[in-house]
A and B are shown apart, each in its own frame.
Chain A
Amino acid sequence: MFANLAGLIRYRGLISSLVARELKARYRGSVLGFVWSFVNPLLLLVIYSFVFTKIMPNETPGVQPFAVFMFCGILPWNWFATSLSDAAGSLLAGGNLIKKVLFPAEVLPIVSVLTNMVHFFLGLPILIAFLLVAGKYPDPSDLIWFPIVVLVQLIFSTALALVLAALTVHFRDIRDILANVLTLWFFATPIIYPWFQPNVQSFRWMFNWNPFTHLAVSYQEILFFKGPLGHWKWLLALGVASVFLFLACYWLFDRLRDSFAEAV
């Protein structure tokens, strides 16, 4: 297992060119091309702003403008959710490679996560622009935490991506189950409502078991709210847990590896 894990470093060239390929192929043939990576989050943000100021104005104090607050959680959530659903189908989609070429299968779910991470990064400038327009200037000292949140989310997503990819080979319905689980998960995470609402606080213990709560709250604290990151203990705990989760998931993936070429 550890030999294979070390082998991943050898595949970095492969991984990076596959990520580049996915990004290129995604917008090939469209007129705007890469601009879509900016336009998509921009349009989303415009829609949210309209809905939450004109249609159903959200006046919750402390999280104004509400659309920008929401967006701090939605952008990383989209990275997470799309990574998992892409990864779940990645081995099946790359079946030709696994069956016919000597190919390190774990590269495929990892590429799914990384490709969506790039989309996430491309959405960030839009978010930052809106933050600045709203007069939210993040603390430079807080921003040090930003790469750490991203790293924790990367490890956490990759762990789940590996295990989902491996299991979907054997149980095809995971892809459908996953879509529903992700919807539930989205609403169970304080993204479209702030975590300090009283009715959220009464279910505090439940939210604490949701790993993405800590990621979302960290993003919101770093980007949206003033003051130092109060959530750092949870974030670091999640980081450590994610590393172990990753090792466990990689172990499971490794165990199932030999079955892929036959079951895909």
Chain B
Amino acid sequence: MTPAIELAHVTKVYRKYSGRQFATLKSALLQRSILRDLRPSETFPALTDVSFTVPKGATYGVIGRNGSGKSSALKLVAGITKPTSGTVAVQGRISALIELGAGFHPEISGRENVFINGIMLGLSKREIQERFDEIVDFAELREFIDAPVKTYSSGMYMRLGFAVAIHVDPDVLLVDEVLAVGDEGFTHKCLDKFSEFRRRGKTILLVTHSLNLVERFCDEALWLDDGRVQTYGDPKRVIDAYLTKVEEGEEQLLAATNARALAGQERQDGSQEPGAQERPADPTSNMFVATEGRWGSREIEIADVTLLDAAGEASHVFHSGDPLSIRLRVRAQQPTSDCVFGVGIFNAEGVCCYGTNTYIEEMTPATIAGDAEATFAVDTLDLVEGTYKLDVAVHKRDGYPYDYHRLLYTFRVKSRTHDVGIYRPRHRWTFSPNVTFGPKS
């Protein structure tokens, strides 16, 4: 089958005109530097050696972080910009849903704008006349079509732009994150329109952050990162690879955050050693005004806190239902028999999800001396998706703190299910035989 879109070793380098955003012709003339100024002094590679092929009739998803080059790629395919090197080939009429309603004139009516926008997108007057009713009905703007566009709400504006662009009847449709244009009902209509396009064997190139959409709609997906193709092929596989990378990124970010929080406390500690002990030790007493911090006498010091995943590796990102272990490495300055280990988990709003300590659980300490380790292990982390913070502490039975780390450690729980709340009880649904469910929509 012939490819509808083919990019071969495409590199796109944007120029950064160094510091002359508003350069003057005068200075250019005086310094005879027009040629030099028009030459890029600094460049920024938006895409580097990108090759991919979209077969005719395929729906192709492009995913990636912000600034990864997705939109640059789309503009190249649309022909708005030219590649610095490499070739872009597209077969058939293109319609680009990049900026909806670009070129609408605010002063004139929706009706006139439909005609002009249609002509801009390559339709003839007669073609627009034929489709006019369809366009207006699709945009749900029949009663406002003769009002000037400046009176439209942004939703109406976008809907009209979308309706015109989609009725251009392109062979290749380029879509850049525009499905967020309307309410739920309109979004469904757009998706139905996309499905119709697919059935009619049109090619769709979809740039989006909605991974669900890619998984449901696309035949193939491409993951761009930093202007380079990371991987492409089966959407599910590409999305999984992408999500893994996103987690790695979050992981690094959280590790850095934790290190910074801890380092900040170390510094404060040095300056206010004596008064530091007066801070409350009961984690639940002030859970709504919880601020991070560290205090205690340091007779027993928490030297290291590590979160471990199922494989025993240090991690900050966990999946709901995974095992989680919190390992405390402590150092007792002198042997003591009064020692309680405590752990508290808080969600992002500061609500205590769970808190316990060894004393509550009726473990009577006998001795602790020198370097020691304590691990709090959870078999299944039954929390919903979100960011959680951790209290860890070593204190006396009466609450006198040796070393209290308040909310210094952050971890993230990820989940493919978008359930709500805090706690996800292990559950299953059962139904009587007359209730059935189809395949995942």
Hey, which bits of chain A sit against chain B, CB under 8 A? 13-14, 17-18, 21, 24-25, 28-29, 94, 96-103, 167, 170-174, 177, 258-259, 261-263
**Contacting residues of chain B (78-133) with chain A, CB-CB under 8 angstroms:** 78-82, 94, 96, 98-99, 102-103, 105, 107-108, 112, 115-116, 119-121, 124-125
Quick one: which of B94, B112, B120 contacts A97, CB cutoff 8 A?
B120
B26 proximal to A (CB < 8 A): yes
- Cα(A99)–Cα(B72), bound, Å: 11
Q: Complex Cα distance A259/B38, Å?
A: 10
Report yes or no: A97 in contact with B103, Cβ–Cβ below 8 A.
yes
Are A102 and B125 closer than 8 Å at their CB atoms? Answer: no
> Which residue numbers of B lie inside 8 Å of A, CB to CB?
14-15, 17, 22-26, 28, 38, 75, 78-82, 94, 96, 98-99, 102-103, 105, 107-108, 112, 115-116, 119-121, 124-125, 148
Question: A167 — which chain B residues lie within 8 A by C-beta?
Answer: 25
Distance between Cα atoms of A180 and B17 in the complex (Å): 28
Instruction: Report B-chain residues with C-beta under 8 Å of the C-beta of A24.
Output: 107-108, 112
User: A102 near B79 (CB under 8 angstroms)?
Assistant: yes
Q: A100-B102, A101-B80, A170-B38 are in contact. Are A14 and B15 (CB under 8 A)?
A: no
Measured in the bound complex, the distance between the Cα atoms of B29 and A177 in whole Å is 13
Task: List, in ascending order, chain B residues with CB within 8 A of A102's CB.
Answer: 78-80, 94, 96
B117 to chain A, nearest CB (A): 9
- Whether the pair B120, A101 counts as a contact (CB closer than 8 A) is yes
- Contact of A101 with B105 at beta-carbon distance under 8 Å, contacts A173-B26, A261-B81 already known: no
Q: Are A28 and B25 in contact (CB under 8 A)?
A: no
Query: Shortest CB–CB separation between residue B113 and chain A, in angstroms?
Result: 8
- Chain A minimum-CB-distance residue to B103: A97
Nearest CB of chain B from residue A257's CB, rounded to whole Å: 9
Counting chain B CB atoms within 10 Å of each CB, the highest count among A28, A96, A102, A263 belongs to A102
Q: Are A174 and B25 within 8 A (Cβ)?
A: yes
Residue of B14, B75, B99, B120 near A14 (CB, 8 A) is B120
In the assembled complex, the Cα of A16 lies from the Cα of B110 at a distance in Å of 18
- Asked, given contacts A100-B99, A171-B23, whether A25 binds B80 with beta carbons under 8 Å apart, the answer is no
- Residues of chain A lying within 8 A (CB to CB) of residue B107: 24-25, 28-29
List residues of chain B with CB within 8 A of the CB of A171.
23-25, 28
**What 12 additional pairs, Cβ within 8 angstroms, besides A13-B124, A100-B98, A102-B94?**
A17-B115, A18-B116, A24-B107, A25-B108, A28-B107, A94-B103, A99-B80, A100-B80, A100-B96, A102-B79, A170-B23, A262-B14
- Complex contacts, B119 vs chain A, CB 8 Å: 13-14, 17
Known: A24-B108, A102-B78, A173-B26. A17 touches B116 (CB 8 A): yes
Which A residues are CB-close (under 8 A) to B115? 17
Contact indicator A101/B121 (Cβ below 8 Å)? yes
Interface centre among B15, B112, B120 (most CB of A within 10 A): B120
Q: List 27 A-B contacts (CB under 8 A).
A: A17-B115, A17-B125, A21-B108, A21-B112, A21-B116, A24-B108, A24-B112, A29-B107, A96-B103, A97-B103, A98-B80, A100-B80, A100-B96, A100-B98, A101-B80, A101-B98, A101-B102, A101-B120, A102-B79, A102-B94, A171-B25, A173-B25, A173-B26, A174-B25, A258-B82, A262-B14, A263-B17
- Compute how far the CA of A234 lies from the CA of B102 in the bound complex, rounded to whole angstroms: 44
**Set of chain B residues within 8 Å of A17, measured between Cβ atoms:** 115-116, 119, 125
Q: How far is the CA of A94 from the CA of B148 in the complex (A)?
A: 19
Q: A261 and B25 in contact (CB under 8 A), knowing A21-B105, A21-B112?
A: no
In the assembly, what is the distance between CA of A14 and CA of B75, in Å?
22
List, in ascending order, chain B residues with CB within 8 A of A28's CB. 107-108, 148
Residues of A close to B38: CB separation below 8 A: 170, 259
Pair B26/A103 contact, Cβ less than 8 Å: no
Known: A103-B120, A171-B28. A262 touches B105 (CB 8 A): no
Q: Which of A21, A174, A261 contacts B75 (CB 8 A)?
A: A261
